[in-house]
Every structure is written in C-alpha cells, then in structure tokens.
C-alpha cells in the first residue's frame, strides 16, 4: 500500500509517500518560517494561503522523486487536526479531492499521533508499550502508549508549552522566531557558573503536569535586572540562555523519569520540535540509563511537522480498514483520547 501523506496543520507544508512494504519512498518539507519571522509568530491567514500555493507542486515533486504517478497511489492521509483551521482546510480539501478523483480511500490523521509515531520511521524503533514525551511549540504532554490509538494522558502543560516558552524567552532578549534553536545556539557559549538560576517548575510536588509560565516570568525579571544594572551584554545573553535551557531540560527529564517509574516502563520516545534539542537528548539518555531506561526519537527533519509522519500514521490505520467519510470535519482541538485503538 502506497500512502500519500499531507501535513498542513501550521507553518510547514509536508508531503511524503510511505509504502507499507518498502518504507518511506520520498518526502519534502517546505517551511514558512521566513514569512512569519517578521511578525514574531505564525500568522494563520498567511499560513493557509501558502499551503494552497505549495501543496500541489510538492505532491508532484514527491511523486517524481519516488518514481510514481498519481495512479500508483493506494490511499491519501492528511492532517485533520489539531491545528490552525484554515491551514488544516487547505490540506484536507486537496487530500479529499485527490482521493475522490483517483477513487481511493482518504483518511484524516491526528497531528499529534503523527508526531508520536514519527520515531517508528527509524531503523531502531521501540516496542510498545512505552512513554511518549510530545514536546513542541503548541504541546507538552506525557502519554502512555500501549498500542496505536490506545493512549493514556499522564500529564500536560497547564499553560505555555515548552516550545512556546523558548519562543517567548528568545523574544525577550531580541532573538528571532522561532526561538528554540537560537536559545540553544547561544547557550553553547554560556557560563554554567554565571550565578543565574531558574526554578524547575512543578518538580517539587507529585504529578506529571508541566507549567512554564513562572519560568518565563523569572526569565523576564532577570533580563530587567540586567538592564537596570547595565549587565545586559552578549555574554549575559549566552549565560541566561544556558540557564533557561537547563531549567526546561531538567524539568522535562525529571518528569519523564517520574512517568517511567510510575508506569513501570523502561522505554521513552520524544517527538515534536523541541525533541531536536541536543541538550535534552543528551540528558535524557544519561539520566534514564541510570534506571535502565532507553530513549528513541526521530531524525531532526522529522521532529518538526512533516508529511512522513502523517503518511506512516495514516498507513497503519488504513491497513486496519479505517477511512474517513467525504464530509469529515477538521478539528482545531482534538484530544488523543478520542482516537480508536487498533492492533489490540
């Protein structure tokens, strides 16, 4: 089964073809970051228009790369939520129309299920059950995964997601959007003994929920104090970036270890844009090795939004006989717990 995957939930247009026998055949990602950077965040209307402009040409490119024609496709999977409504509509409309013209099944895929299953595109993949840390600009969640569609939410952010906190902290010190990679780059030159210390939110109490709003406020306070004392220079920016990154990473690592111990599991996957953070990966591998745990993640290009994860997730459900009606509605909000389990 050759499945065309379309990802248009936010500011990346991702197109891919996944073959259930041969694996990933081809994929392409077009990022809108440069368009949105001048606004300091994603402008939904601009995102929607760009998906309309880019999706069909990228489909042609991916088919050519795979050496296929549209007639070779077995099914189409597209992101139907959660995400920006206009952006989702662009991909869903194209996906459903193309499937109808080819007389093949179409399936609306949950965006976060795509991220959760992205590590399955790699040669080294975890067996289920495992714990998933979904960490991006819009989501920070810990989920127990027993099978595809059988998910138990263990904890989530009560306010800002980790990626959103990175973006806002970066903006406070004059860094471009998206902020995570710029914070990480500055942190490489930071002094760990600078004396700048930030809290590890909600790690001093039971539970697996997250909160990054207080950390963000502490960061802003430190910036204002440095400005008042005329200490706000390039070295200070590197030092505060390191302190902030360490606080976020430590918080995520503590909660991941707690989740594994609570659920009596040893396998963790991390997915979403923040999962590409080098310090987070190193700390998770180091800390979880001490309890016999192992960490799995997707290659960096599949940490951000991409069509490969949608094609793969869709293929698993299509193989199980699922498809979506033509009048399927897209969903800006869509809990993972609403999904139907397969393979159980």
**Binding site annotation covers 40?**
no
Candidates 56, 268, 272; CA nearest to 145 is 268
**Binding site annotation covers 273?**
no
In three-state secondary structure terms, 179 is: helix
**Binding site annotation covers 136?**
yes
**Binding site annotation covers 284?**
no
As a whole number of angstroms, the distance between CA 110 and CA 12 comes to 16
**Binding site annotation covers 135?**
yes
As a whole number of angstroms, the distance between CA 207 and CA 225 comes to 33
Return the residue matching tokens 């247009």.
13
**Binding site annotation covers 138?**
yes
Q: Which H or E run includes 128?
A: none
In three-state secondary structure terms, 18 is: strand
Beta strands in 200-307 (DSSP E): 267-271, 294-297
Q: Please provide the DSSP assignment of 76-121 as one string.
A: EEEEEESS-HHHHHHHHHHHHHHHHHHT--EEEEEHHHHHHHGGGG
**Binding site annotation covers 180?**
yes
**Binding site annotation covers 214?**
no
Tell whether omega for the bond before 178 is within 30 degrees of 0, i.e. cis.
Answer: yes
**Binding site annotation covers 327?**
no
As a whole number of angstroms, the distance between CA 311 and CA 75 comes to 9
**Binding site annotation covers 189?**
no
**Binding site annotation covers 233?**
no
Cite the annotated binding site by residue number. 111, 115, 134-138, 167, 180, 277, 305
Cite the annotated binding site for substrate by residue number. 134-138, 167, 180, 277
Cite the annotated binding site for Fe cation by residue number. 111, 115, 305
């Amino acid at each position: 089964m050759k499945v065309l995957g379309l990802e248009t939930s936010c500011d990346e247009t991702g197109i891919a073809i996944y073959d259930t026998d041969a694996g990933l055949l081809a994929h392409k990602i077009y990022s809108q970051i440069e368009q949105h950077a001048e606004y300091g965040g994603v402008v939904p209307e601009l995102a929607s228009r760009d998906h309309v402009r880019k999706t069909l040409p990228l489909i042609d490119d991916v088919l050519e790369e795979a050496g296929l024609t549209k007639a070779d496709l077995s099914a189409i999977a597209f992101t139907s939520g959660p995400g920006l409504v206009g952006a989702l509509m662009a991909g869903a409309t194209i996906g459903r129309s193309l499937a109808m013209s080819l007389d093949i099944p179409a399936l609306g895929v949950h965006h976060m299920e795509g991220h959760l299953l992205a590590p399955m595109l790699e040669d080294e993949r975890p067996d289920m059950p495992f714990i998933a840390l979904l960490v991006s600009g819009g989501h920070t969640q810990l989920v127990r995964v027993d099978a595809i569609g059988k998910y138990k939410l263990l904890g989530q952010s009560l306010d800002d997601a980790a990626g959103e906190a990175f973006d806002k902290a970066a903006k406070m010190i004059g860094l471009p959007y998206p902020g995570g990679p710029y914070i990480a780059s500055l942190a490489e030159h930071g002094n760990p003994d600078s004396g700048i210390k930030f809290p590890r939110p909600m790690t001093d109490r039971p539970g697996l929920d997250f909160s990054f709003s207080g950390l963000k406020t502490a960061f802003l306070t430190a910036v204002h104090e440095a400005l008042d004392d005329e200490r706000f220079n390039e070295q200070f920016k590197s030092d505060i970036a390191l302190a902030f990154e360490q606080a976020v990473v430590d918080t995520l690592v503590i909660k991941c270890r707690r989740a594994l111990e609570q659920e009596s599991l040893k396998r963790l996957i991390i997915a979403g844009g923040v999962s590409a953070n080098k310090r987070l990966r190193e700390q998770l591998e180091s800390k979880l090795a001490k309890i016999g745990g192992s960490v799995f993640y997707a290659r960096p290009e599949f940490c951000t939004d991409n069509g490969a994860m949608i094609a793969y997730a869709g293929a698993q459900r299509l193989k199980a006989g699922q498809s979506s009606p033509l009048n399927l509605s897209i969903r800006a909000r869509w809990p993972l717990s609403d999904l139907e389990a397969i393979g159980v």
